[in-house]
Amino acid sequence: MKTQTVAQYTLTRLAQLGIDKIFGVPGDYAFSIDDAVEQVSGLEWVASANELNAAYAADGYARIRGAAILTTTYGVGELSAINGVMGSKAHRLPIFHLTGMPSERIQKQGLLTHHNLGDVDYTRFQALSGAAACVSAVLTPDNCIDELERVIREALRQSKPAYLVISEVNGIQPVIGTPVTGKPLSEIKRQQSVPQELDAAVASILKRLSSAKNPVALVTALTSRYGLKDKARDFIAKANIPTALTPNDKGTLDESLPQYIGLYAGVWSSSDSIRQTVESADLVLDIGGIIPTELNTGMWTENLDPEKLVSINDNWVRIGSKVFVNTAIDDVISAMIEKVTPLPGKVASSKELLPLTGNGGDPLSSASFYPRLQRRLKSGDTLVIETGTCMTHLNKMLLPGGVGAEGQGLWGSIGWATPAAFGVGMAKTSGRTWMVTGDGSHQLTLNELAVMGRYKVKPVIFVLNNGLYGIEDVISERGHGYDDLASVNYHLLPAAFGCKDWLSVKVGTVAELEEVLAKIEKHDGAAYIEVMIPNEESQPLPGDVIDSGYKLLTPPVG
Ligand SMILES: Cc1ncc(C[n+]2csc(CCOP(=O)(O)OP(=O)(O)O)c2C)c(N)n1
Ligand SMILES: [Mg+2]
């Protein structure tokens, strides 16, 4: 067999993880990578509208498949992708970010090139892109095989992005050494445990559980990131513990599971009774490690006594003041499934669909939109949730059994959802991809619609048109000009972007929404619905709530 080039080998090795798409934008310094995509079998080039969109799309793809590849060009391309890659770092997704750079011959001759600052510093961008990754390497023919193994191992161990730079000359030179053939992601043991720590941690957790009278569990998105979503569900089902999710973890647990009780977020919990159940528990088993940001905890109103909290993190466990280290989360969950004694009785939870309000010619509102959406989601579907007002509604909405959800509540970069839904759609092999976005968020990345049409994904998209950055009006005083949006005829976009056979309409009344939802059910294709939402819904929170939420006031003396 002909020796592969550095670029071909790199792509071949990454594809062995089970990745079949590469999201990116080409560029001259990255041609060795771009060309190699055409030469490596099993890998499809996906041309995003820009590098930020490509990074978001890779993020969406990785949420379904476990890992993704993104490629950009030197400087201008990679810098545009950084916001997206940093979001993937926050949300613990192994994205392999491949960038091309000027050849070593140019660098060593001290020649000036484009995509630079008029000087000969060729490492400047490596430092910036590297900061969005957990591991990085400059690949050469000589180090490529070893370095790739190190980088893949570390990115999977930490479940975070990796940054790989290949110069235009090294990319086309033959790789030196004996190639490695890797395994698919699902067969890779990503973290190892020290047996003594693992046994002690598991025994301590089970001891605490067996003496607890009314424990609850929280399952976090980290379990999905390590491919442990099913294992976490199996544990909850066997242990029979009432289980809640925090907003950032929406979609992590099948909400039809009898043990699922609802959303916990301090004062923003989905009901007072869920808040009470979690806060009055004598043990909170946190599987994955919740991240108590203000938006995940109702402005830090969570009340989880550290002494009652048992946290199973990626590779360490905390039980009160005790910490166990080198305890791989998959080992901990597997051992717990084997050894846990189920709690007796039936978990009490009330699972109600949102009430249907409004009818006929009534103008649409959030109150009439979400209940109707909720009733159309089916097992196997994935709901992609944008940051903004819609996130506050969708996180609280009970999802039908088998429906997954993906959001970016921690990083919260608006515009993420449109390309991420594209990535989710490219990754899914069955079930529909639904996406809800506000109009302001959509404006940042809506050119990815053309890409969706080109690659024939079939999402169902709802753009909530209130003409505003609405949530900003809620958290600041009403009426700032900077929250008003340019008005766009959204429902005309799919046609303008060349999306063929898309069902695209604007709906302003309950009857119009119901009609289009019925059509979507029968339509084997993409749908794009512009939903008119009154801007009066975005009323400001009381001033004192805003001041205290942002900690704006000087604390009183004493
Ligand atoms: C990249 C980025 N820029 C700015 C913000 C600040 N921001 C958060 S939500 C939001 C408004 C979202 O408006 P829209 O999508 O229309 O949703 P609405 O609340 O109106 O339903 C803005 C500007 C952000 N989170 N991310
Ligand atoms: Mg809006």
Query: In angstroms, rounded to a whole number, what is the distance separating the alpha carbons of residues 241 and 345?
Result: 10
552: pLDDT strictly greater than 80? yes
Q: How far is the CA of 386 from the centre of ligand 1 (A)?
A: 9
Mutate to test the pocket of ligand 1, among 83, 295, 387, 475 (most ligand atoms within 8 A of CB): 387
First to last CA, the chain: 77
Q: Of 317, 354, 353, 356, which Cα lies nearest the Cα of 333?
A: 317
Which atom in ligand 1 lies closest to the alpha carbon of residue 533? 21
Query: In angstroms, rounded to a whole number, what is the distance separating the alpha carbons of residues 550 and 299?
Result: 9
423: pLDDT strictly greater than 90? yes
Which atom in ligand 1 lies closest to the alpha carbon of residue 390? 21
The amino acid occupying position 52 is: L
Q: How far is the CA of 88 from the centre of ligand 2 (A)?
A: 24
Per-residue burial over 265-282, b if 16 or more Cβ lie within 10 Å, else e, is bbebbbbeebbebbbebe
What average pLDDT score do residues 246-253 get?
97
Which atom in ligand 1 lies closest to the alpha carbon of residue 470? 20
Helices (H), 212-301: 222-225, 229-239, 272-279
* Average predicted confidence (pLDDT) for the chain: 96
Q: How far is the CA of 531 from the centre of ligand 1 (A)?
A: 17
Q: Decide which of 478 and 525 is more confident.
A: 525
Which atom in ligand 1 lies closest to the alpha carbon of residue 412? 25
The amino acid occupying position 271 is: S
What average pLDDT score do residues 62-87 get?
98
Which atom in ligand 1 lies closest to the alpha carbon of residue 389? 19
Q: What is the pTM of this model?
A: 0.97
Query: In angstroms, rounded to a whole number, what is the distance separating the alpha carbons of residues 427 and 433?
Result: 10
Give the pLDDT band (50/70/90) at residue 1. Answer: low
What's the token pair of residue 97? 């970010």
Q: What is the pLDDT of residue 45?
A: 98
Task: Take atom 20 of ligand 1 and give the residue whose Cα is closest.
Answer: 470
Residues having CB within 6 Å of any atom of ligand 1:
387-390, 412-415, 438-441, 464, 466, 468-472
Instruction: Report the range of poorest mean pLDDT among 151-155, 256-260, 473-477.
Output: 473-477
DSSP state of 266: T
Helices (H), 179-270: 195-211, 222-225, 229-239
| Residue 18 Cα distances to 37, 93, 168, 340, angstroms | 15, 15, 26, 33
Q: How far is the CA of 373 from the centre of ligand 1 (A)?
A: 22
What would the pLDDT profile of 424-449 be if each residue is shown by its tens digit? 999 999 999 999 999 999 999 999 99
| ∠ CA 280-340-296, rounded to 5° | 40
What's the token pair of residue 244? 């809640």
Q: How far is the CA of 379 from the centre of ligand 1 (A)?
A: 30
Residue 469, helix vs strand vs coil: coil
**341 near 243, Cβ under 8 Å?**
no
Q: How far is the CA of 405 from the centre of ligand 1 (A)?
A: 19
Mutate to test the pocket of ligand 1, among 414, 439, 535 (most ligand atoms within 8 A of CB): 414
Query: In angstroms, rounded to a whole number, what is the distance separating the alpha carbons of residues 23 and 149?
Result: 22
Q: How far is the CA of 88 from the centre of ligand 1 (A)?
A: 19
